[in-house]
Structures are given as structure tokens and as C-alpha cells.
């Protein structure tokens, strides 16, 4: 049985990596999928890979007005938005002694400010039974050297999810978070074998995660099967932050 039949789903940051796998999984489960990305060529390739029930929209997730405008267009065109997944994000290394205002603003701008106003724009089009799935990170709960700003941004997303879950529950809109650990996406292609082994040794499951596994978690939280799950954080980390 397709779990998202007749659902309209928007994945912000869905042209590659985890976001693309979520879009593919949602489409395979019957959803009408809209993905955003910054480059038309990447969107075209993503839509070709998804194969059906998918539309790509060029939009910079860091541009609050641009995303809000596109969400308004989507809501009016399709009449509703059943699922919102906010996946777009960024990270960069900087220890406390070297962090700059530009570094801070870049990470918090995309990872925190953008999701706030994307969600604000979307809820006007979300009927009872809708779901918001935020892509967080276990970085929000562990202290990783050089990634304090990134970790703080993901902790902020977790905090917002709790408040939004409380605020939106009376409207029948659920809010939850998927927090991946190290996931074997294209960004790991340039990682050395030593770094890969160091990360793997920290994971009780003994391997990096797969993007498809994050997509499965997002699908569950977006579907009616998770109808009584509100304000939760589902960690897809092989036990790294749990054990």
C-alpha cells in the first residue's frame, strides 16, 4: 500500500544527497513531489532520476523571500501542502578561536532562519493531518571539535520543533525531526580512509548510514503511520549518539 497517495510533498533541498533520496521514496509511495534546489541542471537530473510525480523549482533556500514566494505558488497551484521536509543545510569547520561573524551568519542563516520562515509560509496551506519533517543532526547533541556553530544550529532546529509541535497540534499539523549521524553521501567521497574508519569506529552499528535509511525515517514520520508521534526526534545514527 502506498503511504502517501494523493499527498503533496515539498522537499526544500531535494536535488541531491539525503533530500533526493527522500524525494525518490516519497514519489514511490504515491506522493506528488516538489523539490527545490539552486541549480536547474541538478534539478533536471534529480527529476529524471525520480521518474514520475515530481516537479523541480529553482529556489535558494537561504533566500527567505524567494522560498516563501515559491511556497505560496505551490500552495495555490495544488490547493494544499500535506508534507513539508526541510533538508537544506550547510556546515563548515571553525573552532571558537577562529569563528567569524560571516561563518556564524552563513550557517545560522541557512540552517535556522530559513527553516523558520519556510515553515511559517507553508503552514497556511497545510490541512489537518499534515506533517512537517525537519532534518536535524546528532551534531545538535554531541560536542564535535570545530563544528560548534553547526551543532548549535541543529540544536536550535530541535528546539523549534518542540515549540512548533505544541503550537500546530491544535491545527492537526505534526512536527518531528529526523537527526542523521554520519551518512555515506557524495560529501564522503573526498574523505580519507583513515577518517572514514575513525567515524565508523564511533558507530555501534559498525558502518556509515545510507541516505535511503534517512529517507525511510522521513517517510515514516510523514505518513499516517506516525499519526500519534508529535515533537519527536528520530535519530538515524547507528547508535552513535545513543549508546
The pLDDT score that the predictor gives to residue 1 is 63
pTM: 0.95
The pLDDT score that the predictor gives to residue 190 is 67
The pLDDT score that the predictor gives to residue 53 is 83
The pLDDT score that the predictor gives to residue 243 is 85
Residues designated catalytic:
150
Query: Would you say 39 and 16 are in contact if contact means Cβ atoms under 8 Å apart?
Result: no
The pLDDT score that the predictor gives to residue 122 is 97
- Report CA dihedral (164, 167, 171, 177) to the nearest 10 degrees: 20
- Only one residue has cell 540544536, namely 155
Task: Give strand pairing partners of 134.
Answer: 86, 177
Map out the domains of the chain as residue ranges.
8-236
The pLDDT score that the predictor gives to residue 90 is 85
Query: Would you say 37 and 67 are in contact if contact means Cβ atoms under 8 Å apart?
Result: no
Burial 152-181, CB ≥16 within 10 A → b, else e: bbbbbbbebbeebbeebeeeebbbbbbbbb
Low-confidence residues of the chain: pLDDT under 50 = none
> Residues 30-76: pLDDT tens digits?
999 999 999 999 999 999 999 888 999 999 999 989 999 999 999 99
CATH of 8-236, one of 3.30.499.10, 3.40.50.720, 3.30.70.2190, 3.40.50.2000: 3.40.50.720
Amino acid at each position: 500500500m502506498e503511504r502517501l497517495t494523493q499527498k503533496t510533498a515539498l522537499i526544500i533541498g531535494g536535488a541531491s544527497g539525503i533530500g533526493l533520496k527522500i524525494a525518490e521514496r516519497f514519489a514511490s509511495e504515491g506522493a506528488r513531489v516538489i523539490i527545490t534546489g539552486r541549480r536547474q541542471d541538478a534539478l533536471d537530473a534529480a527529476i529524471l532520476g525520480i521518474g514520475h510525480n515530481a516537479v523541480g523549482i529553482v529556489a535558494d533556500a537561504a533566500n527567505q523571500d524567494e522560498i516563501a514566494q515559491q511556497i505560496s505558488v505551490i500552495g495555490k497551484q495544488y490547493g494544499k501542502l500535506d508534507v513539508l521536509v526541510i533538508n537544506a543545510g550547510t556546515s563548515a569547520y571553525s573552532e571558537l578561536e577562529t569563528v567569524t561573524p560571516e561563518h556564524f551568519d552563513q550557517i545560522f542563516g541557512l540552517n535556522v532562519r530559513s527553516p523558520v520562515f519556510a515553515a511559517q509560509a507553508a503552514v497556511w496551506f497545510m490541512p489537518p493531518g499534515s506533517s512537517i519533517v525537519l532534518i536535524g543532526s546528532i551534531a545538535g547533541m554531541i560536542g564535535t571539535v570545530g563544528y560548534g556553530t553547526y551543532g548549535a544550529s541543529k540544536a536550535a532546529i530541535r528546539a523549534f520543533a518542540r515549540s512548533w509541535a505544541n503550537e500546530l497540534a491544535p491545527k492537526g499539523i505534526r512536527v518531528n525531526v529526523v537527526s542523521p549521524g554520519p551518512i555515506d553521501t557524495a560529501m564522503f567521497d573526498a574523505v580519507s580512509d583513515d577518517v572514514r574508519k575513525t567515524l565508523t569506529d564511533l558507530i555501534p552499528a559498525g558502518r556509515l548510514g545510507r541516505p535511503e535509511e534517512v529517507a525511510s525515517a522521513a517517510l515514516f514520520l510523514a505518513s499516517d503511520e506516525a499519526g500519534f508521534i508529535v515533537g519527536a526526534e528520530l535519530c538515524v545514527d547507528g547508535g552513535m549518539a545513543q549508546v
